Structure 1
Amino acid sequence: MNNIIVADQTHARLARLAARHRNARGVGMQLVGLLGSQAENLLERLPDPVKTGLEGATARALESAMDVASASRTARLPDTSDWLTRAITLGTGAVGGLGGLPSALAELPVTTTVLLRAIQGIAQEHGINPQTPEGRAACLQVFAAAGPLEADDGTDLSFLTLRLTLSGGAVSKAIAAVAPRLSLVLGQKLAAQSVPLLGAAAGAATNYVFTSYYQDMARVQFGLMQLSQETGRPVEALVDDLRALLSAPRAR
């Protein structure tokens, strides 16, 4: 009987994580609707020098964000709520969008730091210490998720089983593993911020969507890690169950 109760509770928690994952994807698609036809081939709108230097810029932003975000999480500057974090990045996005691409590039490390700080707070909520090598790796791993503007069938959960070993000099190796995927996502963000006639509004909207998306993905990832610790089931098995829930037809 106890096993049945545990199984039901596990299924219920997985169902909530599946709903959160769907919500994250849905918010991104709302932004695509806002951008309209201009959302197609966003990366192609960036100048070639920006595109070629984007991965390096992303890696540098992550490196600085890791230390700054960790150092800023003190009793005098506690973690903020999800909505306040979104409000902060909405503001930085608006400022970044005011001056087009140059100001959007300058805003990139600031928003990355705020996002990583929020992810560290969510990790802490789920019993994962973001100051340990394993916790730092898990926080970086969230950024390996497909971006909010990238359409998929909702079952691309490979980032949840990515193994990043983070100890000593391996920090840079972990960042190097995440930066290529994240640079493509941030490239979409930069391109959206530079869309003609939208300016600050596009910057605010994209930052709101990206913040919401990574907050939700962090809660999915850390929720699965916490569930694995509590039930003893491997994360990989829980990911398979989550994928099945996402693939199942939704009740109408």
Structure 2
Amino acid sequence: MDDTELVQRDVDIDAAIADLARRYRAAGNLGVQVLNVLNWPAEGVMDRLPENARARLETATVRGLEAAMSAASGSRSLVKDQKPWVNTATTTMVGVVGGLGGLTTALAELPLTVTMLMRSVQAVAAEHGFDPDEEQTRKDALLVFAAAGPMVQGKTPDLTFLSSRVTLTGVNVYVGIGLIAPRLAVVLGRKLAAQTIPVIGAATAAATNYSYSGYYHEMAQVVFGLRRLADQTGTPFDALVELLAARLDD
């Protein structure tokens, strides 16, 4: 029996996939809870964002991701990774400040929020044994942000974002940012729209940042959990995604 067979015997793939499916569902439920509190339908949130803000959102997202990738990575050498609840609390407080002045302060707060989210994703990568500064890990961190986002209600699980892993292969991280940014811009647009009302927007921003922090933490657990499982068992990443999809359909 070779080493691969020994590893496959020791790792319960079904149990691991079941745990990742639980995390995926938990991530989606966070956004549903926020939408219920706001009493907003998911499809109407973006309509609350001014047209000029929507036009600038993708460019701002690219710049925010570029800054977040380097700032989050650099901060890890100065401040050790925190427990998830600490990251969530910090991101929530950042949202409160950003929501106090409506759209103006929300736009200013956005890069900091993205950096905090990226830092949380990198911490999950490290938890699973991956070096956050390694090229493939940085691409997988981007993959987390290709997910649909927390403020989307869908009856059918959407794992198509995981296919972006193939798209990111062979390109550098900054090209990858350009590929992921359009999808993330839509997700961040929902967040900004939820913060457009001054003062009241502070409470809304706290709720949305809480949701986003929890969502991306759980999605990072899914992405890096799949990657570690692939490494442990020798099972192709895509095959594990299919197993996860089947589990979510149950």
The TM-score with structure 2 as length reference comes to: 0.92
Which residue of 2 is the match for residue 22 of structure 1?
25
For residues 1-252 of structure 1, what are the structure 2 equivalents within 5 Å? 6=9, 9-37=12-40, 40-74=43-77, 76-162=78-164, 163=166, 164-165=168-169, 170-195=172-197, 198-248=200-250
Unpaired runs of 5+ residues, structure 1, are none
- Distance in 2 of aligned mates of 1:11 and 1:95: 43
Contact preservation (8 Å) 1:192, 1:203: yes
| Change beyond 3 A, Cα 1:176–1:15 | same
- Distance in 2 of aligned mates of 1:131 and 1:154: 34
- Distance in 1 of aligned mates of 2:24 and 2:83: 19
Contact preservation (8 Å) 1:142, 1:217: yes
- Distance in 1 of aligned mates of 2:146 and 2:31: 16
- CA offsets 1:65-107 (integer angstroms, 9 cap, x no match): 1111111001x41011100000001000000111001000000
| Change beyond 3 A, Cα 1:154–1:17 | farther
Matched residues, number:
243
**Identical amino acids, percent of aligned pairs:** 46
Task: Give the superposition deviation at 1:39.
Answer: 5.0
- Distance in 1 of aligned mates of 2:207 and 2:183: 21
Unpaired runs of 5+ residues, structure 2, are none
Task: Give the superposition deviation at 1:40.
Answer: 4.5
- CA offsets 1:164-185 (integer angstroms, 9 cap, x no match): 1376xx3321001110000000
Query: Superposition RMSD on alpha carbons, in Å?
Result: 1.9
- Distance in 2 of aligned mates of 1:237 and 1:153: 23
| Change beyond 3 A, Cα 1:22–1:239 | same
Task: Give the superposition deviation at 1:41.
Answer: 1.3
One-letter amino acid of the structure 2 residue matched with residue 49 of structure 1: N
Secondary structure of the corresponding residue to residue 156 of structure 1: coil
Contact preservation (8 Å) 1:104, 1:190: yes
The TM-score with structure 1 as length reference comes to: 0.91
- Distance in 2 of aligned mates of 1:188 and 1:116: 18
- Distance in 2 of aligned mates of 1:198 and 1:224: 39
- Distance in 1 of aligned mates of 2:128 and 2:197: 38
